[in-house]
Amino acid sequence: MEPNVIVGGGVSGLLIARVLQEKNLSFVGFEKSARLGGRGEVGSHRILKPNTVALLTEFVPEVSWLTTEAEVQERVKGEFTPIRDGYSEAEKFYLTSAPYIPTAPFDQILEKLAAPVQERFHYQKTVTQIHGDTKTIEFSDGTEQKFEKLFWCSDLSLLFKLWVGEPLRAPKANKKAADMPSGVNLTFDLESPLFESKNTVVLPFRFKDFKLRALGIPDLNEDGLPHRLQCMIFLPKELMEDREEVAKCVRTLKRELLKEFPELTQKTKREKIVYLPVLSGEETAQWASLEIAPDIYYLGPQIYLHEDQAEWKNLDLLVSNVSHLRSKEFQPAS
């Protein structure tokens, strides 16, 4: 019997690897980059469902989780005030719900999640074709891999592009990727907290004719204090498509941050800018099953199974799908 195969070493790939290990099933994983973690290492993440926390705690028990009652605040002219002007649809996910917050950076959680299974993954392996009839994957380096079951933990549309065999019926997405918000994530690793709030702080600023807001989302350290600040900026498409203008916009934001928090320069150990073509949410569609084809399973946030999940986003939906497969019985390798 061939091994089960996982394509993608992000959050969903690592979680299903832990599930297969738990079930004592043979598996091998393939990741296109040189590291595990995927987009889980980029940006700030919102976890709103207790079931998500329960599963992550089960696999990474050394990390605890907090809830915060702190209100979302706006920082203007050196003062914290209640948020004004409401929020956009893109900002809604980050400004309207009290999240669960881990007492460790999310990249550290991923490292702990990966530790028991990382030796089962092969790195810098890019899939070029999937042959459904022979259950074979081809890679860009000319190698092939047979599979018993395939767990696809990458972009769903890519699976359909690489598929060879009986046509797959693709789920119809609720939104096109072109309609999804995009922007930039500016991360500051700090020597000490910049502010005490554990919830989002909104920083309004202007760039040319654009009235923008950065969402300052703190990550916590083991003492429960904010030690890293993720600044997310939702940008209009016409601005996002010009990298030079985006760079100027980020410089404008940094000037505004320094006006509000002059100590930022002294407290910053590192900073990182990441362009995010899709900043919030996924191209999500309802589907009857995670089994896209016989023995081909999709895991990720681009499919929801139940109507009450229609508004779920990202990690909550992804973990829910992993939990669904966790409860499913698979035949152990002989």
User: How far is residue 292's CA from residue 165's CA, in Å, rounded to a whole number?
Assistant: 13
H/E run at residue 326: helix 314-326
User: How far is residue 253's CA from residue 208's CA, in Å, rounded to a whole number?
Assistant: 12
pLDDT of residue 117: 97
CB 100 within 8 A of CB 224: no
Give the residues across from 211 on adjacent strands: 206
User: How far is residue 33's CA from residue 29's CA, in Å, rounded to a whole number?
Assistant: 12
CB 185 within 8 A of CB 230: yes
The answer, as to whether pTM is greater than 0.75, is: yes
Which of 209, 291, 261 is CA-nearest to residue 76? 261
What domains can you pick out in the chain, each with its CATH number?
1-64+104-173+282-334 (3.50.50.60), 67-102+181-279 (3.30.9)
Q: How confident is the model at residue 169 (pLDDT cuts 50, 70, 90)?
A: confident
User: How far is residue 102's CA from residue 315's CA, in Å, rounded to a whole number?
Assistant: 13
Which of 327, 328, 326, 314 is CA-nearest to residue 49? 314
Q: Report CA 124 to chain centroid distance, whole Å.
A: 20
Q: How confident is the model at residue 177 (pLDDT cuts 50, 70, 90)?
A: low
Which tokens sit at 323? 């939990």
Backbone angles phi, psi at 72, to 5 degrees: -65, 135
Q: How confident is the model at residue 334 (pLDDT cuts 50, 70, 90)?
A: very low
At a CB cut-off of 8 Å and minimum separation 6, what does 163 contact? 130, 132
Question: Tens digit of pLDDT for each residue in 40-80?
Answer: 766 677 888 999 999 999 999 999 898 877 888 999 999 99
- Tell which wins on pLDDT, 132 or 277: 132
Mean pLDDT of 129-157: 95
Which of 84, 43, 76, 310 is CA-nearest to residue 181? 43
Given a cut of 90, whether residue 267 has pLDDT beyond it is yes
